[in-house]
Structure 1
Amino acid sequence: MDTYAQVLMVAIPFFILLIIIEAFYSWRIGKLSYNGMDTISSLSSGTTNTLKSVLKLSVVIVSYAWFVDKVALTEIKITWLVWLLSFIAIDFASYWSHRLNHSINIFWNQHIVHHSSEEFNLACALRQPISNIIGYGFIFLLPAALLGLPAKVIAVIAPIHLFMQFWYHTVHIPKLGWLEYLIVTPSQHRVHHAINDIYIDKNLSAIFCVWDRIFGTFQEELDEEPCVYGVKKPVITWNPIKINWMHMWQITKDAWRTKNWKDKFRVWFMPTGWRPEDVSIQYPITYEKDPHAQVKYAPASSKSLKNWSWFQYVFSTLLMIHMLTQIDKIGFPYLFVYGGFLFVLIYSYSSLMDHETKAVWIEIGKSIMGLSIIISTGSWFYLEEMLPGANLLMALYFLVSPVVVYYLSKQTAAVKVSDLSVGR
């Protein structure tokens, strides 16, 4: 099995267990920090990010291994000090990469998904991008490369550094005294995810908060200014795939619509949120200026729809785990077929969560795709070997799911009409 896939097989159950514990705790103390549909959206975003990573759906401009080989000023042996320096170097690079994402229009597109939740919880931490298809991290690792920090050390520390950022996505841990001056804490990261004007683009560090204090981006959480989460212009969707590309789509439309040829180019590289003057006048974007008055996205959903959405998420997760366990046996190009199917599955059920009228057609297309895989290959990616009768069960699912989605779509439409009739 691929090494990264092995790590994920351990990390995924661990993260989900902690999310369940936090959700139960928040319910137990009467301070619920979870919304069911939002949680499904967050977890599904984590699934898409995992699929992207496993399928290696990105292009690395220059690998760190090549970079360090070309620019290293010295060659050093691996010691405990090298491991420590490598961790600090990655944290430094993470700060500047993160700051770039918050500063430039085109780079914000790959980060908006992480900020898109209007809740703040451990599930929110899993809202990771699939739109970061160009790897340029080597640029910020220049200090590490100059020192000659070994590529294999960087490769080991990088995922550890990423996973260490999970724990502080919570509203249930208060300020941590002297630790607030050393590491990034939940309090500091609550500020980072908040859309209050005083908190915007603050606390960009990953592990050590010293970078924010040195480079002027630190902001303490204020008792008199409660954090409001999300993005200034709400995404208004549970679909993680849409969220990944909506800012890019907005920039593309602005570049097309503007009459100023200079603006057609610079709109991509201007500060986040900048729009050409003629476009902003003709096609204004309105949003609630007061974050405390912002209404969270929460379309009315029946219990049946919520239960079906959870079933679909759990089903997609089990299929992804199956793909990871059989990754060597499935091989290419069928891994792309499997991964592609899972992307369609997630897009389908999240479209239904958004009450989209086309959700039924997407579900039908997904089921046709699934049945075609079984018919053309004779199995569902070797699942029959692990679970006798799996092919029949999968085929039955593909036949039944469009019927269920059709019923839920009709139910949702009836709810909308009911809301309108009472003037909601």
Structure 2
Amino acid sequence: MNPIVFAIPVFVASILLEVWIAHRRGAKAYDTADALTSLHLGVLSQITGLFAKLATLGIYVAVFEQWRFTTLPANSVWVWAGALLAYDFFYYWAHRMGHEVAVLWAAHVVHHSSEFYNLSTALRQTSSGWLFGWFFYLPMALAGVPPMVMVGVALIDLLYQYWVHTEMVGRLGWMDRVFVTPSNHRVHHGQNDYCIDRNYGGILILWDRLFGTFADERDDEKIIYGVRSPLRSLNPLWANLHYYADLWQSTAQAKGWRKKVQVWLAPPGAWTGEPLGHFDDAQFQHYRPHTPAPAAAYGILQFALLAPCVMQLIALAPSLPLPSLVLYAALIAASTLSLGALLEGRRLGARIEQARGVVLGLAFALLPDWFGYEAPLLLRATVLALSLGAAVWLEKNIKTHQWETT
């Protein structure tokens, strides 16, 4: 079974623990709408990954089968250790290019779009990174790293990076000099001048020290997280597409084919010839969406109902018929979009979300099975009651709170 199924409860529990610790310390580490958006983006990333891996892993397997120079044993600890080291090296370059090539940044910018830095930010992942990311790891296929080992070390590298997305852990002494740690990675997510294009490592920060991209966290300068051109949206689809839209718009404005190519392949914004401006933290303003308190509470409840569905989808993906897989994935993806509109305080979004919640609640309760799962009567009744009750409660709050008209 996909290990992510078991990781999701750990993610949720650790986020709740971090919220509690931050509250005890009086730290403003979380914004509910922002955190839920990060979780929605993580869900979308997992959904697209179910389909994208068919292509990306397929390419790796094809190269491994046809052009590998040798065959490394999958049962060797040394092969696994060497593969993890190699993967982390290639990850450094994939990550670095994700910041230095505009079309790659269009995918990676999703991860940097939050203006908060917490464990939920780690789950704010792209849905389009698979388009080009696979290319960087093909040398491992040529070297004879078995696909099973490749998948395993990729997962290890990814899961390691989860815990470094926090402000609750300070400096860690010698670990900061060798490994990627919260201190090192906070710099990477900053938009301060000294933070830009620094600390790309996945597990080892040694790559940054070796290739000149390391920057130490400064005690005398507060890190401001996010990107210079902020997203200012809670729509997970737009979060994935907005920079591609910017690239197309810039392409239309660029004069001559050389400039048009630079729009996509040069560093972000470099085609204009204008240097990146100085960051003035005094001018920075957090994005504060108009999220009514009832919408935030409703969003938390709905994610609690959505998370088990995501786990079921990931677990059943290899065995589900393709039409069922596509339908289930579409329902979950549509749910994240609907909830995003709700969190932005849009009255229309609230109405759509009411309908979505009721329809899916009725479907879960009345259908013979839910994508192969025959739920007990008590669970069916509970989900239906929660769905109907939430819709009624939301209706009451639509009338008593200020909402956007669109």
Q: Please give the TM-score of this superposition, normalised by the length of structure 1.
A: 0.84
1:317 aligns with 2:314: no
Query: CA 1:39–1:73 in 2, change beyond 3 Å: closer, same or farther?
Result: same
TM-superposition CA deviations, 1:57-77 (whole Å, max 9, x none): 773286223323444333343
* Matching of residues 100-249 of structure 1 within 5 Å: 100-142=97-139, 144-249=140-245
Query: CA 1:296–1:212 in 2, change beyond 3 Å: closer, same or farther?
Result: same
Query: CA 1:230–1:411 in 2, change beyond 3 Å: closer, same or farther?
Result: farther
5+ residue gaps in structure 2? none
Structure 2 Cα separation of the partners of residues 73 and 20 of structure 1: 47
Structure 2 Cα separation of the partners of residues 317 and 70 of structure 1: 40
Structure 1 Cα separation of the partners of residues 90 and 51 of structure 2: 25
Name the aligned partner's letter for residue 386 of structure 1. Answer: A
**What secondary structure, in the 3-state scheme, does the structure 2 residue paired with 1:214 have?**
helix
Q: Is the 8 A contact 1:93 1:141 kept in 2?
A: no
* Matching of residues 254-269 of structure 1 within 5 Å: 254-269=250-265
Q: Is the 8 A contact 2:345 2:403 kept in 1?
A: no
Query: CA 1:57–1:153 in 2, change beyond 3 Å: closer, same or farther?
Result: closer
Q: How many residues align?
A: 403
- Choose which of 293, 298, 302 in structure 1 pairs with 2:283: 293
Residue range with higher mean Cα deviation, 168-177 or 391-400: 391-400
Structure 2 Cα separation of the partners of residues 10 and 377 of structure 1: 27
**What secondary structure, in the 3-state scheme, does the structure 2 residue paired with 1:14 have?**
helix
Structure 1 Cα separation of the partners of residues 12 and 136 of structure 2: 33
TM-superposition CA deviations, 1:285-329 (whole Å, max 9, x none): x99941343111123433322211111211211222333455466
TM-superposition CA deviations, 1:157-204 (whole Å, max 9, x none): 211111011111111222211222211111100000000011111000
Q: Is the 8 A contact 1:181 1:210 kept in 2?
A: yes
- Choose which of 365, 377, 384 in structure 2 pairs with 1:388: 377
Q: Is the 8 A contact 1:255 1:264 kept in 2?
A: yes
1:33 aligns with 2:23: no
Structure 2 Cα separation of the partners of residues 375 and 31 of structure 1: 41
TM-fit CA distance, 1:100: 0.9
Q: Is the 8 A contact 1:61 1:135 kept in 2?
A: no
TM-fit CA distance, 1:140: 3.8
Q: Is the 8 A contact 2:263 2:269 kept in 1?
A: no
Residue of structure 1 in register with 2:266 after alignment:
270
TM-superposition CA deviations, 1:128-172 (whole Å, max 9, x none): 111224254243441x34433333222222111110111111112
Structure 2 Cα separation of the partners of residues 217 and 395 of structure 1: 53
Structure 2 Cα separation of the partners of residues 358 and 87 of structure 1: 48
Structure 1 Cα separation of the partners of residues 266 and 399 of structure 2: 44
**What secondary structure, in the 3-state scheme, does the structure 2 residue paired with 1:77 have?**
coil
TM-fit CA distance, 1:259: 5.0
Name the aligned partner's letter for residue 243 of structure 1. Answer: A
1:86 aligns with 2:83: yes
Name the aligned partner's letter for residue 212 of structure 1. Answer: D
Identity of aligned residues (%): 28
* Matching of residues 367-406 of structure 1 within 5 Å: 370=360, 379-383=369-373, 385-388=374-377
Residue of structure 2 in register with 1:305 after alignment:
295
TM-superposition CA deviations, 1:240-276 (whole Å, max 9, x none): 2221111111112222344544433431112113455
1:337 aligns with 2:327: yes
Q: What RMSD over aligned residues (CA atoms) do the two structures have, in Å? A: 3.2
Q: Please give the TM-score of this superposition, normalised by the length of structure 2.
A: 0.87
Residue of structure 2 in register with 1:349 after alignment:
339
Query: CA 1:169–1:411 in 2, change beyond 3 Å: closer, same or farther?
Result: same
Residue of structure 2 in register with 1:283 after alignment:
none
Structure 2 Cα separation of the partners of residues 274 and 372 of structure 1: 52
Structure 1 Cα separation of the partners of residues 336 and 353 of structure 2: 10
Structure 1 Cα separation of the partners of residues 198 and 68 of structure 2: 33
Name the aligned partner's letter for residue 116 of structure 2. Answer: E
Q: Is the 8 A contact 1:114 1:127 kept in 2?
A: yes
Name the aligned partner's letter for residue 304 of structure 2. Answer: V
